[in-house]
Structure 1
Amino acid sequence: MSDFDGLTWSQAEQRAAQGDAACMRELGEQLADRHAEAVRQVRECERQLAHVVRVLALTPGRDSLGHLLQLLDEKRPSTGSRPLLPFVASLLAEHHQVADLAATVFERRAQDHLDELRDCLFHELVLRGVETDAFPALRSWVIVRPGWHALAWLPVHRRGLESGADFPTRSINGSSYGVPSQLPVEGRVDPPTPRKSERFALRDMATTDVHESIVAAVQAGEWGDHGAWVFLLDEAVPPERMPALLPTLPMQCVDGLGPTDRFEIAVRPLDAIWRLLFDTASMGGMFDSGVHGAYGRLWAWRSIAGLSGAPAGASAGEVEHRARQSTWFHFEADTDWFHGDIDSDYGIAALSPDRRRIAVLAATDTD
């Protein structure tokens, strides 16, 4: 059609009214082709833009930092489905001197749009053990940062349970990371087989808010599937009974588990559970890069809060106190729900301090 570029909505409607359906089909085909090409060009531009941002972020020195900040502030680029600034913050924390970051990134200008970058970078540095109080710009950021931001809930200093956080290794041309979810040898309390197949008359008591809290880290990491359950018991259950009790609970993740099928479980310290949740959220599943350190920290804490039964609105200190009083378990099972692939399945169970509440999170990254 020679008049394609000048065709207006009214002309299109007129031709349709005249019964020129062939013309409309040809127009649709050409529009579809143009759209496909435009999408291809946009994706290619996003890919190249992401590479340029990555190179700038991985190039040490205040000069590269200055140009990167100018690009991010003035153009506010988008390079994919995940937000860009948390990723950039993670790269900066990995590859730049803290003094350079404090002197450039945290030199806040009133009209810039980089507070999200600063917030994420601050928590990336905290997780890496940086003594933020030693840098005036970082110390003052806690005072001037937006108090409404979700990350403002997090502790401004690294807590003991966070000291073993894992991070990916990135270069200009690639990345190396993974979520080590395999059951450890230490702490194993596997129940004897054959196990009793009796099921308890319990109901999942998780409210919508509690369920969303428990699965926060897995959802953030976009794993393949997940489940969460909370059971309230009439009487206290000692921790040593948990290995026999868990496989009998009415949960999809253990449906079909026979008395001799594999069910392995270990008592785990809180820091190991937090690290597993942090890895899940921050580094993501097989086909995802996760939400990176700052938001991975937030969602790991959120899952710990839900699993431990911390009250709504609890501070990080209150969540940690309750979580440390709970007993934590890491388990795996041979069921249809779990797939048994390495580093792709895990279950977490938390027994409350009064021994009358059991919260469970199950995650799988296999379709």
Structure 2
Amino acid sequence: MARQDASELEHRLGRQAEAVCRHYLSNGDRQGNYWQVGDARNAAGRSMFVRLRDTPKGPAGKWTDAATGEHGDLLDIIRESLGLIDFADVAQEARTFLSLPHPEPEPASRRGLAPAPSGSPEAARRLIAMTLPITGTIVQTYLRRRGIALLHGTGNLRFHPRCYYKPDDGPTETWPAMIAAVTDLAGKITGAHRTWLAPDGSDKAPIDIPRKAMGDLLGNAVRIGVPGSVMAAGEGIETMLSLRQVLPDMAMAPALSAAHLAAILFPATLRRLYIVRDDDPAGDGARDMLIERANAEGIEAIPLSPAFGDFNEDLRRLGIDALRAGVRVQLAPDDVARFMNLAA
């Protein structure tokens, strides 16, 4: 009887998986179709994933803790988060929860959340929570048309099918968009960058300002890969992804503008920084400032310069072999074998 009762409760809870997570795992947040938190006891962190929708991989409510290998369902979350022991108490808590009204979680006003200030870090986090992975989307199409095919380690790049765009005059529009999560050194989301796209992914959307950032950007970046003793930092997302086509194992950090590049914060493990400059006066200024800051902290700083305006232009106009050759002669010798994709 207990097993039948548990199965029915589990099924009913699964239909409200996000509401369960918001109630019992309040230290987490939504990331696409998953709720991400530290563990089933509601610790802060990002190692546990709760599925919020039924998928071919399993039903809503199933969870896995990547740090410990633990897994379970929403009844387990109720038990662990409240410290309950007896199943009768868990079942009673579940029934109490299910008797409460739980409307659909979107939009924010329906979740009982105060509107986030426009352009704030919280607004950025809520935007990213509504996005999807880029695999199989027009974001992938857009990047491939720019010569960018290697996309490993790009979990901070996301897809939004209908992202709001407010022109200076006229009504608000919606366009598909590539959304990039801006994070601090600890991995906390502090901002977001939007690149609105044409519906077929062939190019950016035909609007006045197809790129905009929001949130707290100073010192932070869109992080691609995991930095160790060596990483590269630059301005644009496509620029850094283009470089990663020939340096697939090097961590990249697009800072989104020359001013923010000059102020980027350094990971504690960093010993060598490649500074990817755009070929313009602002890029020169960011390079010089970053070299000065890096040297002051005992970090070797090496500029990487494109043949044209930026490395994506190099990739598209010259091809990957020429890009590889142009980058190779600018690397420290021990980084050629360590990071460069010589076999491609």
TM-score grouping bracket, smaller chain normalisation: under 0.3
Which entry has the higher C-alpha Rg, 1 or 2? 1
**Alignment TM-score, normalising by the size of structure 2:** 0.24
Structure with the higher fraction of residues in strand conformation: 2
Q: Which has the higher contact order (CA 8 A, sep 6+)?
A: 1
**Alignment TM-score, normalising by the size of structure 1:** 0.23
